[in-house]
Chain A
Amino acid sequence: MAHGRDLAELFRNAADGMIALAGYELEVGPGAVCNLRLSAPDGETLLVTWLEEILAQADAEHTLLQDYTLRVREATVLEVEAVALPIRRTAKEIKAVTFHELAIRPAEGGLEATIVFDV
């Protein structure tokens, strides 16, 4: 379950939670600046697209997006400024971010979403 005062914070917290679950260990050293623009037809799909992007970069490029600044535009576009750092080791494989029972709901203090990962 991720919470946030707004979509950007919710997306950030969801990413932090997923990264903690996977247990990435990073190499020490400078990273590469990474700017992304992701779009989707609705907020839930945008959340899945964002989390999938982190997983796919980790698997394909062995880099982890960190220190991200997120801007959400009208719930369908996410702009990301981040640093991609090389991964030394991954403790746990996350195969996918699922849509299973996924919904972004209003909650006390903002928004919440339950995200189920295929591990």
Chain B
Amino acid sequence: MPRKQDFVRLSLYRWELPRSHRIDMRVPVHLFASDALLESALGDASLEQAINATTLPGLVGQVCVMPDVHQGYGFPIGGVAASRLSDGVVSPGAIGYDINCGVRLLASRIEAEAARSHLADLATALYSNCPSGVGAKGSLPLSAPELDRVCREGAGWALKQGYASSEDLANTEESGRIQGADPAHVSARAKERGRPQLGSLGAGNHFIEVDRVDEVFHPEAAQAMGLLQGNLVVQIHCGSRGFGHQICSDYVRDLQPAVRRFGIELPDRELVCAPIGSPEGQRYLAAMACAANYAFANRQLLAHYARRSFEQVFAGRLRGWELHQVYDIAHNMGKIEQHTVDGKQEQVCVHRKGATRAFGPGFHGLPAAYRPLGQPVLVPGSMGTASWVLLGTAGSMQLSFGSTCHGAGRVMSRKQAKRSIRGERLRQELESEGIRIRTGSLPGLAEEAPQAYKDVDAVVEVVVGAGIAAKVARLRPLVVVKG
């Protein structure tokens, strides 16, 4: 296990664990953290997992670790690794089981104060309209050909069905569709799990939250995003449901022989991988794109249900209830991107597991309104604490393969949280703070208690201080809906 003295301080919030730390490291680890967050990260296996990740073949630069890091399975949650297309690998375990888990932000023009007396009804409407819970089915069961179309078209499928606007797609990472999706590389079992679940929230740490824009730090960016201080916004956090879980499970299992066949030595079988150019690697990327597109369509449907809820509660009572999409980001994804490596432009496969793409100003994939500012980055906190809207920066392009943090990061396992926090008491505490809770599982609520997470404000101070994001606005929760 690494110790604090093994790290070299590069700047106030950036540390390097050099390649010389362990003989099998191919690149160094760069950790973004304050002293306190570094010490916190040393409290679990996350940094050991980051060291293990550096052994993947064909990596460039460094494995980056975000301040919200916590221990995952094989690869740390909050890790970023980029591999060369020519001799690098793609690793399903370095992307995660919930492929394209991500966050969507919608904004209204309703003042929170004016809406206060309607928030309980809004919570109930959201809980009723957005299917949630373990194994929850959506309200749109898909035929097999229809699921294949979702795989290929992503949020574009929802646009054709009338569940999205073209503005929604423009304000979604990759316009809501990853290229190269091929449903032929998705198992029958994954399709069986995916067909009934589109348009559902699921359980665990997924949520729909109504927030108040608490403070604006970057008026120009907030204006471009339509975020007005005091107004209501909605965050949707979920991913590709059982469809993505099954695709990742299939490839983590099926690529095990490929590791041996290609002579790759790994310190942890969960880091299983295949050369990007190999048939196995290409098949995984094509299947991963299917799950990513499913997740974009899933959040799009949930956005549709959120809009329906706002209309049911506010239409005829308050003006400005229409929800426009600020942005939608992925934080578990593998992407082929161009980055500067050793002074030259190179195409690499960037693995982000619990990390958010954070491209800086000038990126052509951004809508015109955001291009001069940088990509919106959505960082949900934990229930009862703030969430943040940030921007990608030129610094993130130089230091972290255009990536930044994705949330608060756990400090307490779910088991520990459930043992030490009672769900009913937590609900009462949150309600007493004016936060309306709707959940199908009180033990599940306890697992996601604010005490189980790091201080999201401290995480944001690090990424801003390190120059890999800029603050736009802070959000405060008013309604939380969980499965």
Contact = CB atoms under 8 A, between A and B. Distances in A.
A93 B202 contact: yes
14 contacts: A40-B253, A44-B269, A58-B135, A59-B242, A59-B245, A60-B242, A92-B203, A92-B443, A92-B444, A95-B97, A99-B74, A99-B93, A99-B252, A101-B270
Interface of B: 73-74, 93, 97-98, 134-135, 189, 192-193, 202-204, 242, 245-246, 248-249, 252-253, 256-257, 268-270, 272, 414, 441, 443-444
B249 A97 contact: yes
Nearest to A61: B192
A90 interface: yes
A59 B135 contact: yes
Contacts, number: 81
A45 interface: yes
Contacts of A41: 256-257
Contacts of A48: 253
Contacts of B414: 119
Contact of A45 (B135, B203, B253): B253
A102 B204 contact: no
A14 to B, nearest CB: 16
Contact of A62 (B73, B135, B202, B268): B135
Contact of B97 (A58, A60, A92, A118): A118
A87 B269 CA distance: 32
A90 B248 contact: no
Given A52-B253, A59-B135, A93-B202, A98 B189 contact: no
Contacts of B257: 41
A96 B134 contact: no
A99 B269 contact: yes
A61 B97 CA distance: 20
A56 B441 CA distance: 22
A42 to B, nearest CB: 8
Contact of B192 (A49, A60, A116): A60
Given A90-B134, A96-B245, A97-B249, A59 B256 contact: no
Given A90-B134, A93-B202, 20 more contacts: A40-B253, A41-B257, A52-B253, A56-B249, A60-B189, A60-B193, A91-B134, A91-B441, A92-B134, A93-B204, A95-B98, A96-B249, A98-B252, A98-B270, A99-B268, A100-B268, A100-B269, A102-B269, A102-B270, A119-B414
A47 to B, nearest CB: 11
Interface in A96-113: 96-102
Contact of A98 (B73, B192, B193, B203): B73
A3 B414 CA distance: 24
Contacts of B246: 56
B73 A90 contact: no
The 3 tightest CB contacts between A and B, nearest first, are A99-B269, A100-B73, A98-B73
Nearest to B272: A99
A50 B245 CA distance: 16
A41 B135 CA distance: 30
Contacts of B74: 98-100
Nearest to B266: A99
Contacts of A93: 134-135, 202-204
Contacts of A92: 134, 203, 443-444
Contacts of B270: 98-102
Between B98, B242, B248, B249, the greatest number of chain A beta carbons within 10 A of the residue's beta carbon is seen for B249
B266 to A, nearest CB: 10
Contacts of A119: 204, 414
A56 B247 CA distance: 11
Contacts of A99: 73-74, 93, 252-253, 256, 268-270, 272
B253 A56 contact: no
Contacts of B73: 98-100, 116, 118
A60 B257 CA distance: 27
